[in-house]
Amino acid sequence: MSLDGTGLSTHAPPALDAVDAGAGRAAGENFPVALRLLPPRHRRYLMAVYRFARTVDDVGDEAPPDQRLGLLGELEADIARLYDHGSGVAPGSEAVLGLGPAVTECAIPAQPFTDLIQANRQDQVVARYQTFEDLLDYCRLSANPVGRIVLYVFGSFSEQRAALSDRVCTALQLAEHWQDVAEDLRAGRVYLPAEDIDRFGVSDEDLARPSAPPTVRALMAFETARARSLLDSGAPLVGSLRGWARAAVAGYVAGGRAALTAIAAADHDVLRVTPRPRKQRLAAELALAYVRGR
């Protein structure tokens, strides 16, 4: 698959020839995508996974709307070819080709990658979610696969760990949605569950304001607390891991906590500015999660 001519060429992630490739975009995430202290092998694999996920998102968000489903279909076909001993993967599909070593050496199954593609298909037809459960179903495609892949990268996958990882990843996705309410609305998407919007008496006009009124702040406080509870329930995953896997996952948990703290520190006004976690807070949360194991 080639992204040439899709309008993505100026936004596509850089090649993965170096360990730090893609670090510019990864630095903008709430959590450390691939901690610098990790061994080069693990960093390469995590950055390859990140680049694939970002490429899928770019296709779903930035390609011409009438081409998105076709391009996502090409990505899925290339994943199938990759698992067929890499035969026939288009030379232009660097994001898929870059997964090869990780897939082979870590025995990562194809399903998490195809789930990420399916999440972006869903984004093309679903712009709002009625219930929180509906949103959780979306996160099962858009977020949870990444955590499962990370467990495979570190040779630490088990069904019990995957269940905890799903909670962490869903919470991370929710934190990102809550940070980006204004940006998502401009793109025509509202991830806040409609039942919660109605419960707090919030209108689309409220969400479009330059600063959040009290009703929106109350709604965001509720959603942030719910995401934090979910994150904390999955955080014992850290304590089940050892070595580099423990450090990496502690970083993800820390990123979620720091992001949710940033929203609270902004008095839950996610409309005036996008709340971002401070590096000092992230570092402190990482150390705590690593030592406490949760």
Per-residue confidence at 1, pLDDT binned at 50, 70, 90? Answer: very low
Residue ranges of domains in the chain, CATH in brackets? 1-125 (no CATH), 127-294 (1.10.600.10)
Rounded to an integer, what distance in angstroms lies between the CA atom of residue 154 and that of residue 160? 15
If you average pLDDT over residues 257-285, what whole number do you get?
95
* pLDDT 10s digits, 86-133: 666 766 688 999 999 999 999 999 999 999 999 999 999 999 999 999
E-assigned strand segments in 19-140: none
Indicate the helix (H) or strand (E) that contains 81. helix 68-83
Rounded to the nearest 5 degrees, what angle is found at the Cα of 155, between the Cα atoms of 152 and 159? Answer: 65
CB-based contacts of 84, cutoff 8 Å, min separation 6? none
Residue count (the chain) = 294
Task: Say if residue 220's pLDDT is above 90.
Answer: yes
Please state whether 198 falls in left (phi above 0), alpha (psi between -120 and 50) or beta: alpha
Q: To which residue do tokens 């025509």 refer?
A: 188
E-assigned strand segments in 94-253: none
Task: Say if residue 17's pLDDT is above 50.
Answer: no
Long-range pairs for 63-70: beta carbons < 8 A, 24 or more residues apart: 63/3, 63/6, 63/7, 63/8, 64/6, 64/7, 65/124, 67/6, 68/120, 68/124, 69/121, 69/124
Rounded to an integer, what distance in angstroms lies between the CA atom of residue 216 and that of residue 39? 43
Rounded to an integer, what distance in angstroms lies between the CA atom of residue 8 and that of residue 13? 9
Closest CA relative to residue 263, chosen from 30, 57, 33, 54: 30
Is the model more confident about 176 or about 13?
176
pLDDT at 244: 95
* pLDDT 10s digits, 49-90: 999 999 999 999 999 999 999 999 999 999 999 998 766 676
* Tokens standing for residue 22: 């893609």
Asked if 209 contacts 184 with a C-beta cutoff of 8 angstroms, the reply is no
* pLDDT 10s digits, 272-294: 999 999 899 999 999 999 999 99
Is the model more confident about 93 or about 153?
153
137 CB neighbour count, 10 Å cutoff: 13
